[in-house]
Structure 1
């Protein structure tokens, strides 16, 4: 694709691991298909448990959504503690609440402990409310998390205006456990430390066939290689194909588009996100934004379902930018890019284990950086111990979405309708 339509601002650090050739031969303990955050986190921790691990990445490390996302590290799930306790019961619900609360810590502690070359700011995430209904929801979320000792607080209209510099918010909610990173640097550094731990990482190795013979899984690649492994983890998320029948039909892939301004002039930069928080708003088709390490404003949101064909496909984000920050009308948009994300019908991550030694994880729901980092460690712990209590989410059967072939058409229509409704709530 031409550079203007896939031109992120994120950077691989100079310390990025060199690509490794795929070496067949004797069986390995674990083959992980997918070299994003989930796959690399699982690989790192599995290697440190003593497993021989091979990662297969169809493209290059960081080429998918793991390296192209907005770099917001947000703890929690779409659902708050009371909902999780009600729907999963006291025991499982409590496990999920505690796990959800820990996911941002997993990222920032890894960056600190491993001395990763990853630009970051950990001053929190703001959920910005543009209606009274959204403000009431923020107050309920604040009450639930404050009761559990989380470092959170409600923001008044004056406070959110000071923290964001944006127009149109009635208030909001600040979660100081959150922060922002360079996602490409983070994914690249995960690959580097995984490689240092003994993980073999092969790029441009798309897995095309998966089967089992004589107690071992056999994985064939597009290049004609065949690997054998005791266990296989599918960490392909929105890039899931037909390797495991029915899995791709359990998710709806969506495109998340992003833009980045030129570096902001000093007089404007001082009043825009002065403390460096990330922001997501409360609209039906939300936008999210943050500053980058080099002083740009980065803003993202849902894009068209088809691949972009011109700069006009990012126009809805440029309109959102100027709605929030009219003073940026003279600042150019220098970068535009997109990545593919996956939505599950219940807005929760799904863990599947259709056969012993075969697992798949799908569904990030906008919190993938922290969620998949933390979940990778748990999956590795489960491989090492066989103890299902390592897994915060219950293992579920693969249930394809009915009429999946029509689902994306419906989602596209819903997005268009929601954009219309949002326009009336300016």
Structure 2
């Protein structure tokens, strides 16, 4: 996108084309204006349109331009944090509500894919959280215990069985989550957009909103191109790619860069033993490594860092070493594409639900778990607007946006820290 091969890389190369869209010209009246065409905005648009609401999605760039089109493609259940942390932070009732909603999040995603016949390489075969050393294994034992206590189909594999599932002896064990899986993330975003448009939603790309004013019961939104929208509700679904219009959202999100690199398709012989069940994987390190296969059999390796002029050569060299250590048989496999984007992080690793004004709602801060939560929370926002649930039924507490301490310094630290870490020896 935007003539930048490092923005979406393999995903743009292999995704089906997006539905035909264009910038907004003139004026439209709708029930709900949605700013941002990622998973949250597109899911909300789809579910609102299915309920007969008039919807306009206003996207400054293209469908899936932000994290929705750049991520690893792991469809995870739950959030990054352990269940007990959620229960202690959100309370028993709301904590269990989130655990149930997001525990079933992958099923919601895969059901939508099946219902709308979205071509996005869906593999609902589970995921592998891979333990690095004894400390990593102990972390996974605790995760297994907490998830199993609430009935989740999660179980720990010891070293030998994990080696068979991963196709590598580099790890001391692995936690299998049978609820989860993988998708082609940009293809999924484009498929959600096509389904929303078929249901009656209007999607305008290349349409940057630069003002929003309240007049009576209506919001009036104007765009850089001179177009306008009148809506009763606004959903702000911009997450890590939030601009200047709602600065309070940007101020509480710490952007974490994340990159992916993909090889050419591997041989059928290699694919018999490397991730034979097509399960996406990541490790327990703080500066983690993720790895998975796409439908064509390419190995996709990722980690924290930006592939900019400073970081690209360091992260690329690290990727070569890391790939060889996990899979020695791939030591000579070159990366054919590479790309990166931003993850929206919050101070407690939980998403944020905000009311930014009368009938203006936002959910953001997915902390690297955007596919299932974005889809589920977009649907939940639609239910709230349609009156099917009330604010008390929402899965997150309604809070005021609060600026993250030393946000700019932390963002610089993440970028520099990943370079320093990856400049040394690979960690496996």
Do the structures match in fold with TM over 0.5? yes
Structure 2 residue 344 is the aligned partner of structure 1 residue 342? yes
Instruction: Give 1:12 deviation, angstroms.
Output: 3.0
Matches within 5 A, 1:145-294: 145-294=147-296
> Compared with structure 1, are the counterparts of its residues 195 and 175 closer, same or farther at alpha carbon in structure 2 (3 Å cutoff)?
same
1:5 corresponds to: 6
Partner-residue secondary structure (3-state), 2:91: helix
Distance 2:168 2:208 in 1: 43
Distance 2:425 2:257 in 1: 21
Partner-residue secondary structure (3-state), 2:42: helix
2:395 corresponds to: 392
Distance 2:7 2:362 in 1: 28
1:406 corresponds to: 409
Partner-residue secondary structure (3-state), 2:266: coil
Instruction: Give 1:78 deviation, angstroms.
Output: 1.6
Instruction: Give 1:114 deviation, angstroms.
Output: 2.0
Instruction: Give 1:140 deviation, angstroms.
Output: 1.4
> Compared with structure 1, are the counterparts of its residues 50 and 172 closer, same or farther at alpha carbon in structure 2 (3 Å cutoff)?
same
**More deviation in 294-303 or 262-271?**
262-271
2:133 corresponds to: 131
**More deviation in 184-193 or 387-396?**
387-396
Instruction: Give 1:319 deviation, angstroms.
Output: 2.3
- For structure 1, list consecutive stretches of 5 or more residues without a partner in the other structure: none
Distance 1:236 1:63 in 2: 10
Distance 1:39 1:271 in 2: 39
Aligned length: 424
> Compared with structure 1, are the counterparts of its residues 389 and 329 closer, same or farther at alpha carbon in structure 2 (3 Å cutoff)?
same
Runs of 4 or more above 6 Å deviation: none
**Cα-to-partner distance string for 1:79-131 (whole Å, 9 max, x where unaligned):** 22222222222211211211221111110111122222221111111100012
> Compared with structure 1, are the counterparts of its residues 86 and 170 closer, same or farther at alpha carbon in structure 2 (3 Å cutoff)?
same
TM-score by length of 1: 0.94
Distance 1:360 1:142 in 2: 32
> Compared with structure 1, are the counterparts of its residues 308 and 213 closer, same or farther at alpha carbon in structure 2 (3 Å cutoff)?
farther
> Compared with structure 1, are the counterparts of its residues 280 and 377 closer, same or farther at alpha carbon in structure 2 (3 Å cutoff)?
same
> What is the root-mean-square deviation of aligned Cα atoms in Å?
2.1
- For structure 2, list consecutive stretches of 5 or more residues without a partner in the other structure: none
> Compared with structure 1, are the counterparts of its residues 334 and 302 closer, same or farther at alpha carbon in structure 2 (3 Å cutoff)?
same
Distance 2:160 2:221 in 1: 57
Distance 2:222 2:401 in 1: 23
> Compared with structure 1, are the counterparts of its residues 278 and 91 closer, same or farther at alpha carbon in structure 2 (3 Å cutoff)?
same
Distance 2:95 2:256 in 1: 28
**More deviation in 274-283 or 408-417?**
408-417
Are the aligned partners of 2:211 and 2:221 in contact in 1 as well (CA < 8 Å)?
A: yes
**More deviation in 161-170 or 271-280?**
161-170
Instruction: Give 1:187 deviation, angstroms.
Output: 0.6
Q: Which one of the candidate residues 30, 35, 39 is aligned to 2:37?
A: 35
> Compared with structure 1, are the counterparts of its residues 22 and 7 closer, same or farther at alpha carbon in structure 2 (3 Å cutoff)?
closer
Matches within 5 A, 1:8-157: 8-10=9-11, 11-13=14-16, 16-157=18-159
